[in-house]
Amino acid sequence: KNGWTGLHYATKAGHLNVVKLFVKSSADELAETKEGKVPLCFAASNNHIECLRFLLKHKHDTHQLMEDRRFVFDLMVCGKGTDNEPLQEFILQSPAPIDTAVKLSSLYRDMSEKEKERAKDLCNVAVFSENMAVELLGISASEYNAAILLKAKDNRGRPLLDVLIENEQVSLVLLHFKEVVSYASVQRYLTEIWTASVDWSFGGFL
């Protein structure tokens, strides 16, 4: 009736062994309650860190969870006292960690302006996510062509560079990774983006 499964109840109660048993028995980790909550949400909202760690290593929908502001907030709360380990795990287990880190940083910044009582904590995790994005981009750029990375598309078909610009992260990434920007391929791509987005017609000023 309410959509709750045994895995939901076990996760909410924090019974890790029972949660593991359900998952081993092929319980649906993506099953939603009537309110659209998956078991992972209850691990976060009830601060059951071990259950959260375990479920993050199993099937979950990163993009759907990021649409749930409550889950994003709870993820921050769970990181208190654990050096943001659950947040780090969420980012690293996602299909596109750089994209996830950039978007989470922007989300936390927005939330810090609305949640005044937790503004400092939210700002801290925004910076943490931002730093992870920078570090991951640096690691990836050393392994792959940087221009290809910037052209990599997110789940909505937007290139990474567009996501960085939209989330006001591009300047920080470019400042931290001058070696990435120095690549000729990246320079060409940035020039293409710049010239395509600027109207060079001066007719409107005459």
pLDDT in tens, the chain (206 residues): 688 999 999 999 999 999 999 999 999 999 999 999 999 999 999 999 999 999 999 999 999 999 999 999 999 999 988 999 999 999 999 988 888 998 899 899 999 999 888 999 999 999 999 888 888 877 777 777 666 777 777 777 777 777 777 766 656 555 555 555 555 555 565 566 556 554 544 443 33
**CA distance linking residue 64 with residue 132, whole number of Å:** 21
Contact at 8 Å (CB) between 18 and 51? no
Q: Which tokens go with 45? A: 């909202």
**Rg of the chain over CA atoms, in angstroms?**
20
